[in-house]
Amino acid sequence: MEIFKTQKELKKHLSSLPDKTIGFVPTMGALHRGHLSLLIRAKVECELVICSIFVNPTQFNDKKDFENYPILIDEDIKQLKSIGCDILYLPENVEDVYLNERDLNVDLGILDKVMEGINRPGHFNGVMRVVKLLFDIVSPTKAYFGLKDYQQYLIIKTMTQQLNLTIEVIGCDIIREADGLAMSSRNLLLTFQQRQVATTLIKTLQYCKDHINEAPIEALERRCLAMMTQYGEPEYFVIRRADNLEKVTPDYTGEVRAFVVCKIGKVRLIDNLQVR
């Protein structure tokens, strides 16, 4: 695996290669099996696989959250080598990533105004900024994103379509621990006891799926939120259309997903599940 610490060096290297299909997985490090599953899929579908590790400050609303984000570069590099990643972009500083930034003009509709858009103002603007810059640096054929951050996936896909980028944005299934907890770098911050409590996220989502046709949507949302309140500090539990995150109307027959965000101790966890 080759490691590049500046976009200039990476671009020079890529320009020297014959045309290949490039699979790209942008990450913030602290890699787990969820990240590796994206890279393995990219390895199967593309000729060259590139991963980036960059903890992007513009998408953190809480400075302490940014400062406490786990950094495990040496272990990350070992894992990337173990699954055959070809290239790692590991920028030395923020300035290298933001070197050629230009204004973005993207109409997201309600996508950045609901759920995480309410609770984390400016977060998705930061995500779009850095992903567009990374796309410009890497010029991938396909980009892979985990569906745990489903709202982010929809926003990146919408941005790519509106800017007419020739990149296929692929959403990949959530990888879970044996107890059902969605894999996340933030899980490293949980104590053993908190980890047990955190499994209530998937249990509540599964309860929602089992009862989706038995009660009005808003009543089921309230019931699931009350269930979460027994164990942590839930910020929301909502059931939305999977295509645009709008509320589910009685006549809607498409895919429906439930979304939950809950604080367990000081750790903010998110999860979602297709419920219909």
Statement to judge: residues 45 and 131 lie in one domain? yes
Higher pLDDT, 40 or 99: 40
Asked if the model's pLDDT at residue 26 lies above 90, the reply is yes
Amino acid at 110: I
Look at residue 92 in the predicted model and tell me its pLDDT.
87
Q: How remote is the C-alpha of 140 from its chain's centroid?
A: 18
Radius of gyration of the chain from its Cα atoms, rounded to whole angstroms: 19
Statement to judge: residues 164 and 204 lie in one domain? no
| DSSP letter assigned to residue 132 | H
Q: Of 132, 147, 172, which one is at a domain's C-terminal end?
A: 172
Q: How far apart are CA 179 and CA 181, in angstroms?
A: 6
Q: How far apart are CA 44 and CA 36, in angstroms?
A: 12
Statement to judge: residues 164 and 245 lie in one domain? no
The model's confidence at residue 123, banded by pLDDT at 50, 70 and 90, is confident
Cβ distance 135 to 161 under 8 Å?
Answer: no
Q: How far apart are CA 268 and CA 56, in angstroms?
A: 18
Is 235 part of any domain?
yes
What residues contact 243, with CB distance under 8 A and at least 6 apart? Answer: 254, 255
Higher pLDDT, 94 or 81: 81
- Give the pLDDT mean for 8-22: 95
Cβ distance 133 to 54 under 8 Å?
Answer: no
Q: Of 172, 193, 215, which one is at a domain's C-terminal end?
A: 172
CATH code where residue 130 lies: 3.40.50.620
Look at residue 65 in the predicted model and tell me its pLDDT.
64
71: number of Cβ within 10 Å: 14
Statement to judge: residues 16 and 129 lie in one domain? yes
**Number of domains the chain contains:** 2
pLDDT per position as a tens digit, 144-199: 999 999 999 999 999 999 999 999 999 999 999 999 999 998 888 899 999 999 99
Is 30 part of any domain?
yes
Q: How remote is the C-alpha of 157 from its chain's centroid?
A: 12
Judging by DSSP bridges, how do beta strands 87-89 and 22-27 pair with one another?
unpaired
Q: Of 143, 172, 201, which one is at a domain's C-terminal end?
A: 172
Statement to judge: residues 37 and 94 lie in one domain? yes
Statement to judge: residues 74 and 153 lie in one domain? yes
Statement to judge: residues 168 and 189 lie in one domain? no
Residues forming the active site = 35
- Give the pLDDT mean for 140-145: 98
Q: Token pair of 77, please? A: 């590099």
Statement to judge: residues 61 and 117 lie in one domain? yes
Q: How far apart are CA 76 and CA 60, in angstroms?
A: 21
Statement to judge: residues 88 and 8 lie in one domain? yes
Average of per-residue pLDDT values in the chain: 93
Asked if the model's pLDDT at residue 117 lies above 70, the reply is yes
Statement to judge: residues 154 and 230 lie in one domain? no
Q: Token pair of 210, please? A: 């089992």
Asked if the model's pLDDT at residue 63 lies above 70, the reply is no
Look at residue 271 in the predicted model and tell me its pLDDT.
98
Amino acid at 232: G
Cβ distance 57 to 66 under 8 Å?
Answer: yes
Residue 209: give the domain boundaries: 185-274
DSSP SS3 for 36 = helix
Statement to judge: residues 162 and 194 lie in one domain? no
Q: Token pair of 90, please? A: 């590991």
